[in-house]
Amino acid sequence: MPEGDGFYAAPSLFTDVTPEMPIAQEEIFGPVVAVARFEAEAEAVQVANQLRYGLTASIWTENLRRAHRVAHAVEAGYVWVNDVGAHYPGMPFGGFKDSGIGREESAEEIASYTQTKSVHINFG
């Protein structure tokens, strides 16, 4: 636990989570890990993609081909491989579906506040 004044939530680990449980259906922001079992890669992608949210995904594997394949297949705006939580300047952060508010932390964020207009005038 952090030292000093303040309010802190202890990390929580939930095991044997199934897709229909509320903890598997909602975006939880905090020190929480929900662990679900699956038999095949395709099942894991299917379960993840059935959610209405898609802010981030974290793939843990030693197989680089699998990492690329799953990262491409999963409907999430930001995918970590063998990591979680790291952000890098200029790399867009945001979600798919009902997650996020566009792409933050990048030129795409600035562009999202820009209203582009083209005007063509022919004097002849």
- Report d(CA 22, CA 36) in Å as an integer: 13
Residue 46 and residue 98 share a domain: yes
Q: Look at residue 4 and tell me whether its pLDDT is greater than 80.
A: no
Query: What is the predicted pLDDT for the residue at 112?
Result: 82
Residues 92-107 have a mean pLDDT of 86
Report yes or no on 51 lying in a domain. Answer: yes
Counted domains in the chain: 2
Find tokens 């063509």 and name the residue: 120
Residue pair 92/108 in contact (Cβ under 8 Å)? The answer is: yes
User: Amino acid letter at 32?
Assistant: V
Residue 56 and residue 20 share a domain: no
Residues 33-45 have a mean pLDDT of 94
First to last CA, the chain: 74
Apex 98 CA angle, 93 and 99, nearest 5:
25
Mean pLDDT of the chain: 90
Find tokens 């394949």 and name the residue: 69
| Cα dist from 36 to 4, 67, 110, whole Å | 35, 18, 37
Q: Look at residue 90 and tell me whether its pLDDT is greater than 60.
A: yes
Residue 65 and residue 19 share a domain: no
Domain that holds residue 72: 39-103
Residue pair 34/17 in contact (Cβ under 8 Å)? The answer is: yes
Work out the pLDDT band at 1, boundaries 50, 70, 90.
low
Residue pair 38/44 in contact (Cβ under 8 Å)? The answer is: yes
